[in-house]
Structure 1
Amino acid sequence: MAITVHFSTPLLKATENNNKLILEGKTVKEINERICHRFQSFKDIIYDSTGGIKKVINIYVNDDDIRSLAGEDTPLKDGDEVSFIPTIAGG
């Protein structure tokens, strides 16, 4: 099953300037594992010291925040889109 994964501009350095990938995975966790395996620094960017997703990282499946779904256990189906968007603070 093909999942399209999008990365916002602040994450491009960690993904070697890839703003979109096509990956296989049945859950958000499987997608995260594949990304972290491919881009070693990505793990430190999205996960906190306890292994949870950092609060400043928003992950969406088809425009729905995974926090309102099943978190990393959110199931995926062919054609779904997963987007990684960090919170940006300004002042």
Structure 2
Amino acid sequence: MDVFLVYLFVATATPLFLWVEHRKWAVLHIPFVIALWAAFIYYIAVPELGGWGHVTLWSLFVANLAFAHIAAFMLYAVPFLHKQRKKKSVSIKNT
């Protein structure tokens, strides 16, 4: 549960990292974060979640995990790949 709580804090900070460059992605991610916190609070408040409670909580967790990986790829890998393509095209033009 400790790892899940740490992930909640990271997922909560993700829209802040996205806000400057990808505002639409940040706005899209905010409802997922709110739902994840609501499910977590419900999980803490009600000791017996039942089957649907666990399915909902883990579905939100997996959706946020996927979104965070896509966001990280867009923030860090895409600019790097564009820079590499530019270098490659410049070196091809120079030869």
TM over 0.5: no
Higher strand content, 1 or 2: 1
Higher helix content, 1 or 2: 2
**TM-score interval (norm. to shorter):** under 0.3
TM-score by length of 2: 0.25
Task: Work out which structure has the larger RCO, using CA pairs closer than 8 Å and 6 or more positions apart in sequence.
Answer: 1
Q: Which of the pair has more CA radius of gyration?
A: 2
